[in-house]
Amino acid sequence: MNRIDARFKELAQSGTAAFIPFLTAGDPDLETTLRVLEGAAGAGADLIELGFPFSDPIADGPTIQSSYQRALSGGQNVGQVLELVRTARKTCPLPIVAMVSYSIVFKWGLETFLDRATEAGLDGATVPDLPVEEAAEFLPIAQGRDFRLICFVTPATAKSRRAMVAQHARGFIYYISVRGITGERAGLPPDLVENIRELRSLTDVPIAVGFGVSTPEQAMAVGRSADGVIVGSAIVKRMAAAAQQGADAAEAALSFIREMSAATKSAP
């Protein structure tokens, strides 16, 4: 069974939501990312979303954009990120989902990229510039490799399109909680619970919520209604601040993951 499916099945049996941290590969360096990957399970993470640095990110706010630029300036490339995953797999049991632009996939060639991704130990991918309407080639090839394409739904997604996404979704659905880009928010949108409830009526595939979740209180609130809580900018920001101050960026990430995971799993 795909590691994503297995983990969500296990969490459903225990009645808890998944905590899913996002990391930018290579920010501040690959060694630090590796340490977080190796320590994430012990810190309470359930899955990991790993960002492949890209020069023209889609939907990412300034925090993650800056992390991509730092990683690229440090010389990170796709081959190095895949090797990072391969190394992490020796000790990291968690599902790892790539966040990768389709431009990267297209440049490598779809089958070549998926072969290399699965060989390295990736379990799926979020591809923000590949709408489900244009994924007809990707989906069967990925499915043949037991690799999950994670589809997106937003508050602005029409009901007919939500139904189409739900039909094709595998692994989990990434529900973008806000209209706009990634980044920390002061509060959660008032229609979040209603939108999750409506989406859940269309599919049995788990629903994970991202964009704007940045505090333990928000993670707890999302964990009450969603199957997963995704946190990115708040982690990336803390790592960047630690690195700038000469502190341990990996421990800054793991400490925050512990706090956010505990809040997610304490949701009644």
Q: Of the candidates 86, 73, 81, which has an alpha carbon nearest to the alpha carbon of residue 105?
A: 81
Calculate ∠ Cα 200-58-73, nearest 5°: 135
Per-position DSSP letters for 99-150, written without gaps between them: E--HHHHHHH-HHHHHHHHHHHT--EEE-TT--GGG-TTHHHHHHHTT-EEE
- 5, 27, 29, 49: the catalytic one is 49
Choosing from 29, 46, 60, 227, the catalytic residue is 60
SS3 42: helix
Residue 129 designated active-site: no
Q: Angle 7-209-177 (CA atoms, 0-180°, nearest 5)? A: 170
Residue 179 CA to residue 168 CA, distance in Å, equals 23
Pick from 161, 55, 54: nearest CA to 99: 54
Quick check: is 133 catalytic? no
Q: What is the set of active-site residues?
A: 49, 60
